[in-house]
Every structure is written in C-alpha cells, then in structure tokens.
Structure 1
Amino acid sequence: MGLPDLFSRWFESRGWAPRPHQLALVDLARQGRSALLIAPTGGGKTLAGFLPSLIELTERRQSGQDLAYKKGQGELHTLYISPLKALATDIRRNLELPIAEMKLPVRAESRTGDTPQSRRLRQRERPPDLLMTTPESLALLLSYLDAARFFASLKCVIIDELHAFATTKRGHHLALCLSRLATLAPQARFVGLSATVADPPALADFLKLREEPVEIVLGEPGAPPVVTIIDAQERIPWGGHMGRHAVPEIYNIIRQHKTSIIFVNTRAQAELAFDALWRINEENLAIGLHHGSLAVEQRRKVEAAMSAGRLRAVVATSSLDLGIDWGDVDLVIQMGAPKGVSRLMQRIGRANHRLDEPSRAMIAPANRFEVLESLAALEAVEARELDGDPPRPPCLDVLAQHIVGTACAQPIDREAFFAEVRRTQPYRDLPRQDFDDTFDFVATGGYALAAYDRWHRLKKLPDGRWMLASPLVARQFRMNVGTIVELPLIKVKMRRGPVLGEVEESFIQGLVPGDTFVFAGRLLRFEGVKELIAQCSVATGGDPKVPAYGGGRLPLSTFLADRVRGILQDPARHPKLPAEVREWLRIQRIRSTLPSGDKLLIEGFPRGGKQFIVAYCFEGRNAHQTLGMLLTRRMERMGLRPLGFVATDYVLGLWGLRPPTKAQLDQLFDEDMLGDDLEAWMDESTMLRRSFRNVAVIAGLIERRFPGEEKSRRQVTFSSDLIYDTLRQHEPGHILLRATRQDAAWQLADLKRLGDLLKRAKGRIEYRRLDRISPLAVPVLLEIGRESVLGGTAEDELLDIAAQELIDEATRL
C-alpha cells in the first residue's frame, strides 16, 4: 500500500519519493507488527519510524474517532527513546517541519533531564501525542503513581540507535522498561532504528517482547563512504594519544569545507584539541566545543549554532555520535584512532545526510600504532564489515533498581513480575534463584543487612503483593535513577558569571588557588571552592591542567585488533602506509621480527640496569592491564623481581631485575593464570571494591544523591567499603557480591579476550632475546612515567632528549 494523499503530496512538494523501507514500516504498523529497520544515515530512518504514527493520528482525528482529542485531552500515542538528550531534542525539532507543512493535528514534545519541571508536570497531566525522551526519563515516568494511566493509550515505541544500547547496563535497564511498557500497553508495537548492526537477528531479538516475530527491514545500502587518512606534515609521533601534530592540517581542512565535526575519544582530548585549534585560528573561524560535562546552556548554544549553519567546525566526543542531523556537515574528522569500526561508521554518518552521496571522513592517527589501526578501520569500512560486542550476562544490580522503580508505581505481584523480566532478551535465561535473591535484597537487604531498617525497601501486603515500605524510598529512587555511574562532580562557575559545566571532584581537590586549567574551551584560573562550586576567573597564562574523566580511553575492539595483526604480517599492504611507518616496520624486521596472527611475539632486552619484556598482544588496554597485574604476581613467585608494567591498546611492557627464560615465559603465559591467580589478585586489589561501589550505587544500596544533599566521592567510597567488608565477612554469597564479581570480570578485566589470548599463545610463543630495544617497543616504553593529562598539556610536544635517545637506540642497525 502507498501513502495517504496528504502525505504523498508532501513528499512530492519536497521533490522526494517514499523509500521502500519507509513504506514497509507503514505496512507493518497497519498489521500491528514490531520491526527493526537497518538503513544507512540519510536514508530517512527516523521519518520511517514516525510516519505510521503521523498517518494513524491524522486519519483518526480527521474521521472523528479520537474522542480524547475532541475533548481537548492529551493521550500519548508514540514514545521515542534516544540514547542522547541532544538527539531527542533534535528529532522533536525536525518533526516540527512535516507537522507544520501538512498542518497535521499532532503535538510533539521532548522530555529529558534538561526539560523544565513545569513542562514535565504539564506533560503528565496532558500528554503530547509524540514524546521524545531518554531511558532515564522513561524509568522516571514508569515510577509515578499515574504510570498505568499515562501509558495506557501507547501504540508505538521507537528506539533510535538501538545498537548503542544492546550490550550495556543501560540497555539492560531499557529492556526491563520496555517489558513494563508491554504490560501497561499490550497493544503497543516496538520499532528499532539503527544504521550500524553487526548481528541483525540478535538486535531484533532485543525487541521481541511478545510471541510474534520482529520483522527485519533492510534499507538501500546507499553510496559507500569516502574515508582517507590525513597525511600530516610533521613527523608521526612514536607515542602519545592527543594527535596535536596533525592540528595544522586539520585547521587547513576545516578552511576548505563548509562545516566539519572533529570527533575525539575523550573529553580531555576535546578540550586540548579545541584549545590547539583556537591557538592557530588566524582567520577567526567559528569553532565550537561539545561534550557531556559542559553546562546545558553551553551545549544548546553550540547545537543551535550548528543547526543554523553558523559554525565552521565543532570538536565533539560521543555526545554527538548518534543521529544528530545537521545537513550542512560535509566532513567528519576522527582525531585519534576510532577503536572500533561500528563507532567510526556511526561518526562518518554525521556528514552528508543524503543516501545517494558518499559521506566524507578523514582519520588523524595520534601515533604510529594508530596509523596501523586507522588503516585497518579504513579497510573494514571499504569491505562494509562491522564489529560488535558480545551479549553480557544479566545485570542483577540493574534488576534491583528496576524492582524499586516498579514498586514506586504500584504493588508488585512477584510471579507476574518474574515472567515480565524473563521475556526481555538480557534476562531471558535468568535463574529463578538469582531473581529471588535480588528481590529479597530489595525487600530486606539480605541476611547480613536485614537488621537495618534503612535497607527494608519493600513490605508484603496481605494479598501477597509487595509495595514500597516508605514514600522516602520513591524519593531516593527518583534522585538516583539510571545506570550511568559518574564520579561526584563539582560545578565550574565564573566569578560573577555563568556556570560553565561540571568536572570531577577529585580534579578540583588537586588544585590550589592560582592554578590554571582548560575547560569549556577557556583558560581558567582556580580561585577556590565556595558552597560546593569551583569559582574561577579568566587566566592569561601558566601551564594549564586539563580535567580527566572516569571511563578513560576506549579500548581497541577485537575485530580491529585482528585486522591490525593482518596488516603487520602482510607486506603487500604496507605500501598503503606513510613512509615513516613503513621504515619503522622495515627496521623492526631487521632488528627482530613483526608480530603474526598465529604466534605471540615477546621481546626481551636490557636497558638502564633493568630487564624488559614486551608482549605484542593487541587485545586492548583493559585486557593488557589485567594481564600485567597477573604476570607480575607470577614473576614475583619465580624470583624475577618485577618492578612494574605499562599497557597500551597494542602492547604490554613489563620490567624487573632478572630476565625470564623461554621455559619461564611459557609458564608465565599459561592458561591456568585465569584460575587461582585471578581469584587471588581480584581479592587483594581495589578492583572488586571499585566494582562493588558502582554496583551498590546502581542497586540503590548507596545513594549518590539524597533529598537536600549530594554525597562526596569520599563519603560514597567509605560507605561502600564498609558494606563490602561486612558482606564479605557475614554473607559472602550476597547477590551484590555475585553481581560485583560478574561486573568486574566483564567490564574491568576483559577476561574473555584475555582467555582467548592465552589459548592462542599456548605452545606458540616466539621469544626474541635482543641486545637492546626494538623499534616496535619504543611506544610502550615512552608510556613509562608519562605524565597523565591531569598534570599538563605537554603530552604530544616534541620528544625530549631522553626519548630521542631511546628512538636512536632502537633504530640503529
């Protein structure tokens, strides 16, 4: 079937024709069926998601069937869920055009944490037809007493950028909320939208909340993107992560294009890149800065300027990764290696929102290993291959939070609720024991905490259902909702001026009045803390610091790591590399050998009175850090007297006082490392405590925010450590301790990759004993003692004399 005349004429007036996937979603909606639409950026995905709702609402109201509309009452018809607040606002703004041009009797609004309280109250009293929101705002809406009434009329739920949720704790929370919606609105259908999907059936399964299958709709592929690697005039650094050597080329590229987005991987890198561009901005080009720690007003100002075409460029983190539609953007620059192909494709899609025109992007690698990674990503883009994360086990801390949120709205029937939880993809195989233990924890705190009334959050009714023990529980839930656990933040404010945003409390604690730092694209002088706000003034000089944020750098994906190994062992692909990198690899082949896919290359050499071991694992920083911890324990037992280690995404470097033999290396890298050694290390390290802190916050055991106050990092840590020690002593099988170990293994240690590495290395270690450092080992040794970005901005300055000596030593034939 085609579109109604009104909608067909609107398409014609804009010189468009509805695409097959748009028509397919309209047809599926008429059948009441759920769907996953996979289509490239510029293919009209978002319009495809909303078209059926716009058509249905218009037809019902034109025929006089909508009684609530006749009475002037609001009823929610379609809920749109976005991973970003900016995207929810942007989609609402984009929908205003077709609604206005076709004079549709439809009201669309957005609701996020930035929405004024007065508007949020009005939306609950008189809901709009279409509501754009985020998972956290949805969880809040589901926790209100009027949730059943508010969602009773819901006909459609659209989840944009679905792939961004699927394997995260936030995705687990969203899945539970969607299942709740399926209960409250049994007639609702679910529509997922995504441009980058590695496993379509698995993603479609995320939407399967009823017996009927979810239809997968594939859009036309569109023109392939054009991606190149920037050839910087300055020499490519051997180490570092900021890519400052490429800033002059990036500035010239900005000059040659209409509007560019420069994506970086961390907020600290965003501040440094923005500062470096402004220092050479002789033409005074309008360049903006956008990341999640900036004040709402700052972000909105940048978004509005981009929408109006007033900016030539914006430096951004993942805060602008997803879905934002700015038609004037004609180039994306990825500063630093992308760390994953799907992430790169998502960012490339921000340029040239037309299906028949290629998106254009450039990559500016920050160092020599990143050149290899960038080439691997470029080849994967050309081959249209994507990477994806494996599913994670059901997150019990998230389930605990959802139990409380559900009880805030109405009493819970435990059996019906278990069935509701089990129909979600992440919790489909949840053991009944885990569910019961989690529910009991929410109700009483568990055996070890049952004596404390504050952790009794549910009470049983005579009819067997469970309700909140106190209204205070609902207030605490609503102030702490969500799975994004950030370290405590402090507002940064200009004296007699606006609030610029927030930085982590620990960063401010490391400053003394007079210190300078870069934030919100400005050079600031720290004056002191007043009423929990960092007071600042404009600075004119000094050696500024840059705030670093929890979460750190993105780890290299397994898929890209495999491709990097492939490039290293295939000389036929080396001509694609810059001359400096080719020479680097040529000397490495002469001095030692290149890493291969079927062996683990380990080099050993003396330097400065120490014995170094460098393992070319290519398993990402997280896995390498865990491996380094475990190896140093084993080296200590062997009498090798280890002194330390350093990990990058590509290489692990260790040093001690004695060199290992080949037989000792085989023992060091044995698979049994992941048994007793791992257990002992996890128990001794702060890793489990850190993981427990996050789990306890998400599960509601510890509140970050309390009515009238916000806990400091030190208070949260003290509370969580005290409870952690109590549970380990008196109830070691407590559900939160189980969740903690699971969380630590998944998120912090990257154990699966580590296990795959050790399995691959068994019997296939290639040990090269050298008389001095090799060229490929230079980058990891440059990391030893490198000052954190917290301490200054000199990370990518010209290499000092000591570093140059290291390079000269490695490249001397």
Structure 2
Amino acid sequence: MTALPPAFETWFAKRGWHIHPHQQDMLSRADHAALLLIAPTGGGKTLAGFLPTLVDLASNPHEGLHTLYISPLKALAADIRRNLTTPVEEMGLPIRIEDRTGDTSSARKKRQRADPPHILLTTPESLALLTSYEDAPRIFAGLKRVVVDEIHALAESKRGDQLMLALSRVQAMCPDLKRVGLSATVEDPKAIAHLLARHPDPCEILLADPGPEPQIAMLNTDAPPPWAGGGAVYAIPAVMEEIKRHKITLIFHNTRAQAEIFFHNLWLANEEALPIGIHHGSLDRIQRERVEAAMQRGELRAVVCTGSLDLGIDWGDVDLVIQVGAPKNVKRLVQRIGRANHRYNAPSKALLVPANRFEVIECHAALEAARDHDLDGEPRGPGPRDVLCQHILIRACSGPFDTDVLFAEVKSTGSYADLTRSEFDDCLDFCAAGGYALRAYDQWQRLLERDGLWQLRDPRAARLIRMNIGTIQDSDLLKVRMKRTRGGKPLGEIEEGFAASLTPGDTFLIGGQIVKYEGLRDMTVEVSRDAARKPKIAVFSGTKFATSTQLSQRILRLLARDDHSALPVHTADWIALQAGVSRLPEAGRLLIESFPHDGREHVCIYGFAGRNAQQTLGLLITKRMEDMGLAPMGFVSTDYATLIWGLNPLQDATGLFNRDALRKGLDRWLAGNALMKRTFRASATIAGLIQRNLPQLRKSGRQATFSSDILYDTLAKYDPNHLLLDITRQEAMRGLIDFGRIDDMLDRIDDRIDLLRLSRVTPFAAPLFLEAGRTPVEGVAQERLLEEETERLMQAAGLMN
C-alpha cells in the first residue's frame, strides 16, 4: 500500500477528513495502465483521480505537462480547477493548474502551448485541437496521466469517440501514459472499461462503497396530473412549498423549452419573491456563470435547469432535487439525484413530478429501478466513421503521417477495435479527394501522398480544419440580445427555424423573461422587454429524450401486476378502467385497439418503443394502411403508443407488421425525405465535407442547409455508394428514426398481436387525442374527402341531380 505523504496526512487531518478506501486504492494502483473508478456522487472521485498526480508532483519536480483532465463541460473544468487549487495552495505544493476551453483567451492558449502547466483541465474538443499542432510532441512531452471525468456522459456520444481517438494520438507520443476514468453512474462497467483502455490492454475496475440509499419519492400534490402535456403546471404550488422548506433546490427538466415555461409559471407563483434562477445551455454564458456563482455563494433558493447542471459540479448547499417530467432514463435520474447533499455517506434527496397521467406510471417504474440499482443504457455501436474522417484530417494538420501507423493507433481505440482496413482506407480516400463523385473539385482535394507519407495538399487548409473541430452540432442557432437602444445585453440563443416564424411584435420566453421580437440584425435576433402578452414557446437546440428500452419494459411489468395500490388512486383507477374496457399492454405481445370516434376510425398501437421509434412506426404503418385501402389521415405518437386516424376501420392486422415490408417502406420513405438530408448535413459537417466556421464568416443554418442539400442530391444521383451516404443511412436508422427499437419490438412480440375492435375510445388511448405534434398523411383520404365535399357543394348549389 502506498502511504500518503505527511503533508497530505496533515492537510486531511486539519479538515477532519481521512482518506477513503477507494482513494487509497487509486493511489496504490497509480502505475496501472488503465483504471476505472465507479464511486457515489460526493464520494471524492475527483480527488481520488488526482491524488497520484499531486503526490508525485509534491516529491518529484516535473517540467511541463504531467496530467491531463478531460471534462464533458467547460463549467466542470473550471469548477475542478477552483477545487483543486485549494489543497495545492494550502499545502504549498509547487504545482501550476490551468484550464483550457472555448472560453479561454487566445493569449492564454498561446502561452499554454509554449509553457504548459503541470495539470491542464480541458474538454475533448480542446484536446483534439492541441493534437493538431505541429509542436504537439513538445506540448505533450513528459505527460504521465490522463483523467477522464464523468466518462459515462462522454461514452454516450460522438464526443467520447473523438476523445478516445485523440488519446490514441497522445498515447503514441507518450507510450507510458496512464489512463483513469471516473463516474458515479455506469450501467455496464466492462463496456466503459473497454472504451477507456488502450486496446488490447486491460482496464481494472474499482468499485467504491455505494454509500446510503437515496431518498426518492413522488411529490404529493392536491391536483392530479393532466391527461397529456409536459409542463406540470399543476404541481407549481407543491413545488413552491418544497423550495421554502429547503436551502437550495435544483428543479430539472428534460427540455429547455419546458424549463423556460416552468420557470415563468413558478415566478408568477413566487409571492414571497424568493431568489430563483434559471440555467440551460441556450442562455448566454455570462447569465449562466452569474447563476452558478450565486448558487455557490448560497444566494439562490432554487434553480430551474436542464442537463446543463447534470454533472459533477459541487453546488454547495443543494439539499433537494426535483425532477419535473418522467426521467426517461434511470441512469440520468440517478445522476441528477446525486446533485443533492453532495457529500460522502450523505443520502441524496429527490422528488419526482410526473407531467401527465402516463408519466405517473413511468415515474414509479423509474423509482423502483433506481432503488434496485438497475441502470439502463443502449449498447454502443462501432466507432462512427464521420468522427474518424475528422480525426484523419486533424492528424494531417500536425504533419505527414504513415497510414499503417495511424491505422494501428485508431485500432487501439476501443470503439474502433473492429475497424477493417478497407473501412479505414475508405475514410482516408474521402479525406484525400472527397470520394468518386467529388474528385474533380479542388476544394475537396485535401491530402496527397509523398514519399510514402500522407500530408495536407495545402498547409493553409490546417486553419480551416482546426476551426471546425468538434462533433457537437449547434447549427441553426441565432443569438438573441436586447435591442441596441435598450443596452444590447446578450440573452442566449434560439433555433433559426423558430426565429423565422416570428414577426415584429411577437413575444417569447428566454431566460425566464418575456421579450418582444423587434427584428433581425446581422444574424442576431433583437428583442425588447414586453410582459404584457402571452408568449410563444421558443424552440431551443438540445437533446430530446426517449424512454429507454429497459424502463419501457419495467413499465409493462408494472402494468402486468395484479395489485396497483402503490400508485396514486387516480392512476390505479385509470389502469383498472382500461383493463375493463379493453386490455392492458403486455411485454411479449402487441396490443392494437381499433375504434370509431368523432366520425373517424382510429387505431392505437401500444409499442412502448420510445418516441422516435413510435413516430417512425406511425409513418410506416400509415403507408401500409394506405396500400390496404384504409385511407389513413394522420397520426400522433408518444413514448408509449401511436394513434392513427382515417376513414376505414382496421379489421385485420395480419401482415401489417411484416418486418421486410416495413423496412422496404422505410427505405422508400427515406430516399427523398428531409430527415435524411438533415442527418447527412450533421455527418458531412463532422467529417469535414461542409465547414460551418470560416475565417471572418460563419454560415447561417440556411446557407449550410442549401449547400448540404445540393451535395446530398448530387451524391445520391451520381455516387449512391458514397461513404457519407452510407454513414447517413446508419446514423438515421440508429438515431432520429430509431428503427432498431422497432426491430427489437418485433422480436419481442414474434407475431403475437392482439387486435381489439371496440365501440369507443379507451382510457389509455384518450390522452393521445390531447397530444401536440400531429402528423398529417397526404394521400387517398384527402382526395376522397375533397370529392365528397365537392359533391355536397354541388348538390347545395343545385348543380347535381
């Protein structure tokens, strides 16, 4: 066992602390090639990750960079720098600590390259940028350790793939580099360890004492939740009372728009004028930092927020977390719960607020899963090739490279361990010349081979490549600021599509205040304050969550129970009524209800496949129904079901869910669909085919869309097997369309389909009639209705016998 040096023992003792077992384990295993520590929130994970570094630097003078710390959030990197500086200064250790993110000044970045600190805290994008410089070997010379914090959050996106590719490059420069991963919420430790390790080297997994069980419950409210919607306005009085009873309450929402609406309504109910803030990723950075600072000083009683406050930042006296809306994912719920009582062996406290009646069931299922430590997560696919293309271009920026060496580096990355040489060569060919259909264009002639090494054809292209590093797609965003005559204060960002729908005088919510749209100036939305009218709901960028597969199966198992007395009376009665009128959905079967309502025929399909998959199912099934002569007119989907309406009743579901027919229908639908073009645009931007950032210029969303649409149409016509089209198809199937979950659903039901013909709307179907986001179906139904209406008008005019 490695002993803690006396200076550290003294520092711990002065604070009344003692080293935790998992911190001691990390110190004793400092020479292991890769370590993954899974420890509870507030358990000192970050200090455990840094202890070997601090102990080493305290006794062994080191020139230049010693440890890299990688965070998914800029704010988290800054917070860790502040927290880490305290023990360093109090022990008088000769250690320089700095952070480097998109918010760091160019002057400091330049100095950091020339004279790196001992510990550099940064993000995946900034690390990738550092590896792109010609002097990268000098910058990373002597690097001994890399600490990846909140690794579970990075593992779920392309940012994690980019990070691990960047680390493969750093590891090539520093062969003895030790890797450390830190997380509190990992559903599959072995999968994360595989991602972290340098393949095929192993990664040891350390599990800390999980600590006391969190205190989680549903919020009791006087009013029952509504049948549909996501605002949870009914719970405002009860939430207000909880705020009064606690020091600081974090109120999480799943979307930025819902956070804005809830904050607005909460503020209207805040009769005692308690200090309450709002925090989400579309707000201006200065406003976010002001809220963060006020939280740390204990000046706020509550903050309405989104995933922007999910991760491991220590917010001091937060003693309650409220999750508004079903969490959709148990792992996310556990992560958010950990923000309360952020101390070792102190139980977290959280309340769940379902936004509607179906979410009551989902919240109870999520509570049970959290208590059972049953975390969910989708299996990771192979490393995305658009990210690999960007990595090849980044590597070219730093100087000539040997393809065999680079291929070996990439293969050492867990998610790319199964990459074939032909797949790698396809990416290299795309980076070099753009692919078959684009070879004639100079702008995509980027790499050339000389003396057996590949390099940039024009060294000046490095600047453009560096300006577009990253996998985060923040397209279609416009800045919002107060009108210049009103001070010009920046407020945040909204989606360009929403801005295009505004006319002067329209009002909308941003940062918790109602503003009036004045006009667009220099790609900036100018507004003024106007609290007089009911605002529109602004559209912000951000992830829109779907209920996880594991949580959906828990909901079905909950429904299958004989006793639902643990649920609120109104929800238990609703379930009983559904069982009496129709049938409850079951895990191994597919329930379909067919019934007339308001002069139309309706079909409700309870797939429990998540919103994206249910939406795709609606598109495919309505096409099948049209082929069967049922004249569907439209549909609407939730995480649990799809409701379709039309002119003719569904009497037989045989063949409706034929897998091959559905896939063929999907392929036909995708071929000319705008969704494919949007997916193509994202992958083409990551892969470097399209540049969003140009010197002295940033393309607007419309300009980039126009460019990518032309490229998509060109490739689809002249080079249908182009690498980026193949990537686009894979991304669409896995992401926005989520056909894989339809496949999983078909595997589960195995032709066990229960079609019930009923006389009226059922209790479970009723909420879908209140859902927004209805999708019309253009086809036979519209033509037939037009013919009938024309005939009626002709008869009324006396023009027909």
TM-score, normalised relative to structure 2 = 0.95
Residues 539/387 of structure 1: CA separation in 2 closer, same or farther (3 Å cut): same
In structure 1, list runs of 5 or more residues that go unmatched.
69-74, 788-813
Partner of 2:654: 666
Deviations 1:740-761 (A, max 9, x none): 1111111112122111112223
1:268-347 matches, within 5 Å, as 268-347=257-336
Partner residue, 1:397: 386
**Pair 1:692 & 2:680 matched:** yes
Match of 2:531 in 1: 540
Contact 1:37 1:216 in 2 (8 A): yes
> Within 1, Cα distance between the matches of 2:456 and 2:530?
52
Q: Which residue of 2 aligns with 1:554?
A: 545
Q: 1:579 aligns with which of 569, 576, 581?
A: 569
2:94 maps to: 105
Q: Secondary structure at the match of 2:416?
A: coil
State how far apart, in whole Å, the 1-side matches of 2:7 and 2:541 are.
Answer: 51
**1:569 lines up with 2:560 in the alignment:** yes
Deviation at 1:212, TM superposition (A): 3.7
Contact kept in structure 2, 1:516 and 1:525, CA below 8 Å: yes
CA contact (8 A) 2:99 2:121 kept: yes
- Deviation at residue 484 of structure 1 after TM alignment: 1.1
In structure 2, C-alpha distance between the alignment counterparts of 1:777 and 1:427, rounded to whole Å: 44
In the alignment, what sits opposite 2:779? Answer: none
1:499 maps to what in 2? 490
Between 290-299 and 678-687, report the one with greater CA deviation. Answer: 678-687
Paired position in structure 1 for 2:757: 769
Question: What percent identity do the matched residue pairs reach?
Answer: 52
SS of the counterpart of 1:675? helix
Q: Which residue of 2 aligns with 1:165?
A: 154
**Contact 1:288–1:314 under 8 Å retained in 2:** yes
Contact 1:167–1:392, Cα closer than 8 Å, also in 2:
no
Structure 1: distance between partners of 2:116 and 2:748: 57
Whether the 8 Å CA contact 2:68–2:145 is kept in 1: the answer is yes
Deviation at 1:32, TM superposition (A): 4.3
Q: With the length of structure 1 as denominator, give the TM-score of the two structures.
A: 0.93
Q: For each residue in 1:564-595, what CA deviation from the matched residue of structure 2 results, as whole angstroms up to 9, or x when unmatched? A: 001111132x1111111111112112211211
Alignment of 1:180 with 2:180, yes or no, is no
- State the 1:442 CA deviation: 0.4
Match of 1:201 in 2: 190
Q: Kindly indicate whether the alpha-carbon contact (under 8 Å) linking 2:162 and 2:387 is maintained by their aligned counterparts in 1.
A: yes
Q: What residue number does 1:758 align with? A: 746
After superposition, what is the alpha-carbon deviation per residue over 1:161-201, rounded to whole angstroms, capped at 9, x for unaligned? 11112242111111111111111111210000011111111
Which letter does structure 1 place at the counterpart of 2:287?
Q
Structure 1 letter corresponding to 2:686: I
Q: Where do residues 138-157 of structure 1 align in structure 2 (5 Å cutoff)?
A: 138-157=127-146
Counterpart pick for 1:431 among 417, 420, 425: 420
Runs of 4+ in 1 over 6 A off after TM superposition: none
The C-alpha deviation readout for 1:113-143, integer Å capped at 9, x for no partner, is: 1112222112112111111111111111111
Q: 1:306-353: CA deviations, max 9, x gaps?
A: 111111111111111011112311011001100000000000011111
The whole-number CA distance in structure 2 between the counterparts of 1:235 and 1:200 is: 39
Residue 5 of structure 1 pairs with residue 6 of structure 2 = yes
Cα separation, 1, equivalents of 2:265 and 2:295: 21
| Residues 196, 345 of structure 1: 8 Å contact kept | yes
SS in 2 for 1:154: coil
CA displacement at 1:376 relative to structure 2: 0.4
Residue aligning to 1:808 = none
Q: Residue type of the partner of 1:522? A: Q
Structure 2 runs not aligned, ≥5 long = 776-801
Q: Distance in 2 between matches of 1:673 and 1:310?
A: 59
1:483 alignment partner, one of 468, 471, 483 = 471
In the TM superposition, residue 653 of structure 1 has moved relative to its aligned partner by: 0.8
Kindly report which structure 2 residues correspond to 1:609-688, keeping only aligned pairs within 5 A, or say none: 609-662=599-652, 665-688=653-676
CA distance in structure 2 between the partners assigned to 1:106 and 1:482 by the alignment: 30
SS at match of 1:97: helix
Partner of 1:530: 521
Distance in 2 (CA, whole Å) between partners of 1:395 and 1:213 is: 23
Check the 8 A contact 1:36/1:191 in 2, yes or no: yes
Deviation of the 1:379 alpha carbon:
0.3
Q: Which moved more, 1:674-683 or 1:475-484?
A: 674-683
Work out which of the residue numbers 574, 581, 590 in structure 1 matches 2:580: 590
- Distance in 2 between the 1:588 and 1:631 partners? 24
Q: Secondary structure at the match of 1:668?
A: coil
1:499 shift after superposition: 0.9
Alignment check: 8 A CA contact 1:670 1:762 kept? no
Question: C-alpha offsets along residues 60-99 of structure 1, whole Å, 9 cap, x if unaligned?
Answer: 13xxxx4x3xxxxxx1111111111111111111111111
> SS in structure 1 opposite 2:654?
helix
The farther-off stretch of 322-331 and 761-770 is 761-770
1:154 partner letter = L
In structure 2, C-alpha distance between the alignment counterparts of 1:497 and 1:725, rounded to whole Å = 41
Distance in 2 (CA, whole Å) between partners of 1:785 and 1:10 is 58
Distance 1:110 1:567 in 2: 47
> Could you tell me how far 1:546 is from its partner in structure 2?
2.3
Structure 1 residues 210 and 636: CA distance shift in structure 2, 3 A? closer
User: How far did residue 210 of structure 1 move?
Assistant: 5.2
Tell me the amino acid that sits aligned with residue 671 of structure 1: R
| CA distance, structure 1, for counterparts of residue 762 and residue 650 of structure 2 | 18
2:58 is equivalent to residue 58 of structure 1 = yes
CA-to-partner distance for each residue in 1:491-544, whole Å, 9 max, x for gaps? 111122311112122221111111111101211111111222211111131121
2:503 aligned residue (484, 496, 512):
512
Cα deviation for residue 552 of structure 1 reads: 5.3
* Aligned amino acid, residue 352 of structure 2: I
Match of residue 343 from structure 2 = 354
Separation (CA, whole Å) in 1 of partners of 2:460 and 2:216: 54
- Conserved 8 A contact 2:277-2:302: yes
Q: 1:235, CA displacement in angstroms?
A: 2.4
Report matched runs for 1:117-156 at 5 Å: 117-156=106-145
Kindly provide the amino acid, as one letter, of the partner of residue 92 in structure 1.
R
- Tell me which residue corresponds to 2:689: 701
Q: For residues 673 and 164 of structure 1, what CA distance do their matches in structure 2 show?
A: 37
* CA–CA separation in structure 1 for the residues paired with 2:613 and 2:351: 29
Instruction: Name the count of aligned residue pairs.
Output: 772
How many Å apart are 1:471 and its aligned residue? 3.4
Give the corresponding residue for 1:810: none
Between 1:339-348 and 1:131-140, the stretch displaced more is 131-140
Amino acid paired to 1:318? G
SS in structure 2 at match of 1:123: helix
Cα pair 1:262 1:313 within 8 Å, conserved: yes
Counterpart contact for 2:323–2:350, Cα < 8 Å: yes
TM-superposed CA distance for 1:674, in Å, is 4.2
Q: Is 1:39 aligned with 2:28?
A: no
What is the Cα-based RMSD across aligned positions, in Å? 1.5
Q: Is the 8 A contact 2:199 2:414 kept in 1?
A: no
User: C-alpha separation between the residues in 2 aligned to 1:420 and 1:430?
Assistant: 11
Cα distance between partner residues in 1 of 2:405 and 2:772:
56
- Residue type of the partner of 2:33? R
Question: Which amino acid in structure 2 is aligned with residue 578 of structure 1?
Answer: P
Contact in 2 for aligned 1:630/1:673 (Cα 8 Å):
no
Q: Distance in 1 between matches of 2:147 and 2:134?
A: 24
Q: Look up the match of 2:783.
A: none
Whole-angstrom distance in 2 between the partners of 1:785 and 1:220:
45
